[in-house]
């Protein structure tokens, strides 16, 4: 750790300016087809992970965990380069690959892997046995305090909650003072508030340590609440990078749109471009139905996909008039189901449209299965993606 030291009384005290690290990855790895996976899979990833939290996001099977395994040294790429600051962790051309223990990278798995026979304090101290006793004690105390589990030091993992286990796993990893931290969906099963609280403690720790933290998830709510930047993956490749809102607000492919929580996906063909109005007209594939969408790259005849959040679909019980919204589709309610604090309507309107409204709106509008309705979709609620 450079520029700071952990203080037993708190998180860390800055001793001068913290040097931020950079983890650079450019790797390729092929996986042949197997009985379990009939299709061959190829990983081809180039990305940079600066100090702070970067979310590695994408659908299941995108290759996110494999990237972490390659960074950690648990899997060896076929070719490429992995660099952490001035240290070369893997160089395919030079046939160089450091052992996992030499990379000084902490890795927290979804299973957490706490030792059930050890106390919280003993778990946190597990990787420090080579240090002098006083140094061990100082680091353990700092780790326990940094993640708010100092009151649990004498308990076994079976005696603490799921959120407390995640905190202990983080403390155990970070007292070793790693140069980077890899997190493979370690917060699965926790509510959003608890996830955010744990990540805030992690960010506070990292403000004084400045290491790259790579957080793998396929859940869009974790991207919004936990990430500072996002690397979007699909089918072994990086598709998109940006801020959480850039990735979730404008996913470039259908699989990323699905992972980002878009409930509606329509396929269409461009029939008209109107640059002066900032829009395009598209015709839904196989239908005599047109929509107005934001203008993007593409010419007449090009195929496009349209992703729409269910929460962006308005529902009326009579035909609306005089709206700025340009897309109005008449339909009939097929089903109404409760979805937490919302009601999910499935509407047959030539294509199936999913809309989320409040239970109060259902009552006020007298919405029920079989009733005719009109769906209203604003132009800029239509997000174009590749098909």
Q: Are residues 47 and 165 in the same domain?
A: yes
d(C-alpha 354, C-alpha 262), whole Å: 10
Give pLDDT tens digits for 161-187: 999 999 999 999 999 999 999 999 988
Confidence band of 227 (pLDDT split at 50, 70, 90): confident
Q: Are residues 213 and 342 in the same domain?
A: no
> CA 181 → CA 53, 103, 209, distances in Å?
9, 11, 11
Q: Residue 82 belongs to what H/E stretch? A: strand 79-84
d(C-alpha 354, C-alpha 375), whole Å: 10
Q: pLDDT averaged over the chain?
A: 90
- The CATH number given to whatever domain includes residue 39 is 3.40.50.300
Q: Are residues 285 and 137 in the same domain?
A: no
Given a cut of 60, whether residue 39 has pLDDT beyond it is yes
| Mean pLDDT confidence for 27-36 | 81
User: Is residue 369 exposed (0-12), middle (13-18) or buried (19+ Cβ within 10 Å)?
Assistant: exposed
Q: Are residues 219 and 361 in the same domain?
A: no
* Vertex 297: Cα angle to 296 and 300 (nearest 5): 100
pLDDT confidence of residue 35: 56
Q: Are residues 58 and 126 in the same domain?
A: yes
Give pLDDT tens digits for 194-224: 888 998 999 899 988 999 999 999 888 888 8
Neighbours of 165 (CB within 10 A): 20
Given a cut of 60, whether residue 191 has pLDDT beyond it is yes
pLDDT confidence of residue 220: 85
Q: Are residues 89 and 217 in the same domain?
A: yes
Contact 73, 98 (CB under 8 A): yes
Q: Are residues 172 and 209 in the same domain?
A: yes
The domain of 294 spans: 264-385
Contact 251, 258 (CB under 8 A): no
Q: Are residues 176 and 81 in the same domain?
A: yes
Contact 173, 106 (CB under 8 A): yes
- The CATH number given to whatever domain includes residue 313 is 2.40.50.100
d(C-alpha 147, C-alpha 166), whole Å: 9
Length of the chain: 387
Residues in CB range of 330: below 8 A, 6 or more apart = 319, 349, 372, 373, 374
Q: What are the structure tokens assigned to 343, written together? A: 């009601």
Give pLDDT tens digits for 85-106: 999 999 999 999 999 999 999 9
Q: Are residues 91 and 195 in the same domain?
A: yes
Confidence band of 11 (pLDDT split at 50, 70, 90): very low
pLDDT confidence of residue 32: 84
Q: How many domains does the chain have?
A: 2
Q: Are residues 33 and 142 in the same domain?
A: yes
Helix pair angle (192-207, 162-174), 10° resolution: 20
Q: Are residues 134 and 283 in the same domain?
A: no
Q: Residue 14 belongs to what H/E stretch? A: strand 13-14
Give pLDDT tens digits for 132-156: 999 999 999 999 999 999 999 999 9
In a domain, 367, yes or no: yes
pLDDT confidence of residue 16: 36
Phi then psi dihedrals of residue 158, to 5 deg? -70, -10
Nearest to 148 by CA among 122, 136, 133, 166: 166
Helix pair angle (162-174, 133-146), 10° resolution: 140
Handedness of CA 178, 127, 14, 182 (dihedral sign): positive
In a domain, 193, yes or no: yes
Contact 54, 67 (CB under 8 A): no
Q: Residue 42 belongs to what H/E stretch? A: strand 41-50
Q: Are residues 70 and 212 in the same domain?
A: yes
């Amino acid at each position: 750790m450079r520029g700071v030291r952990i203080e037993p009384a708190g998180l860390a005290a800055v001793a001068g300016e913290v040097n931020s690290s950079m983890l650079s990855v450019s790797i390729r790895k092929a996986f042949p087809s197997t009985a379990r996976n009939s299709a061959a899979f190829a990983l081809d990833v180039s990305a940079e992970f600066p100090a702070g939290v970067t979310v590695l996001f994408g659908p299941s099977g995108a290759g996110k965990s494999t990237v972490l395994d390659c960074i950690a040294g648990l899997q060896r790429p076929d070719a490429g380069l992995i660099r952490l600051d001035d240290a070369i962790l893997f160089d395919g051309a030079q046939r160089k690959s450091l052992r996992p223990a030499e990379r000084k990278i902490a890795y927290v798995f979804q299973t957490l892997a706490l030792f059930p026979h050890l106390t919280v304090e003993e778990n946190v101290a597990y990787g420090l046995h080579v240090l002098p006793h006083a140094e061990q004690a100082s680091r353990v105390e700092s780790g326990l305090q940094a993640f708010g589990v100092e009151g649990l030091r004498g308990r076994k993992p079976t005696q603490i909650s799921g959120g407390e286990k995640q905190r202990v796993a983080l403390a155990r990893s970070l007292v070793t003072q790693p140069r980077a931290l890899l997190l493979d969906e370690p917060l699965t099963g926790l509510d959003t508030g608890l996830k955010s609280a744990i990540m805030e403690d992690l960010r506070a720790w990292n403000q004084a340590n400045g290491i790259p933290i790579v957080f793998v998830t396929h859940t869009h709510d974790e991207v919004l609440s936990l990430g500072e930047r996002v690397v979007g993956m699909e089918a072994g490749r990086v598709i998109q990078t940006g801020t959480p809102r850039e990735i979730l607000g404008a996913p470039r492919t259908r699989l990323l749109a699905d992972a980002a929580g878009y409930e509606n996906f329509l396929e269409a063909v461009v029939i008209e471009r109107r640059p002066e109005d900032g829009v395009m007209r598209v015709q839904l594939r196989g239908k005599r139905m047109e929509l107005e969408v934001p203008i993007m790259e593409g010419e007449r005849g090009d195929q496009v996909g349209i992703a729409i959040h269910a929460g962006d679909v308005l529902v009326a019980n009579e035909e609306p008039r005089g709206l700025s919204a340009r897309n109005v589709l008449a339909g009939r309610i097929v089903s109404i189901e409760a979805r937490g604090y919302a009601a999910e309507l499935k509407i047959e309107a030539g294509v199936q449209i999913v809309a989320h409204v409040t239970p109060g709106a259902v009552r006020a509008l007298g919405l029920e299965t079989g009733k005719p309705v009109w769906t209203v979709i604003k132009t800029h609620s239509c997000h174009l993606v590749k098909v």
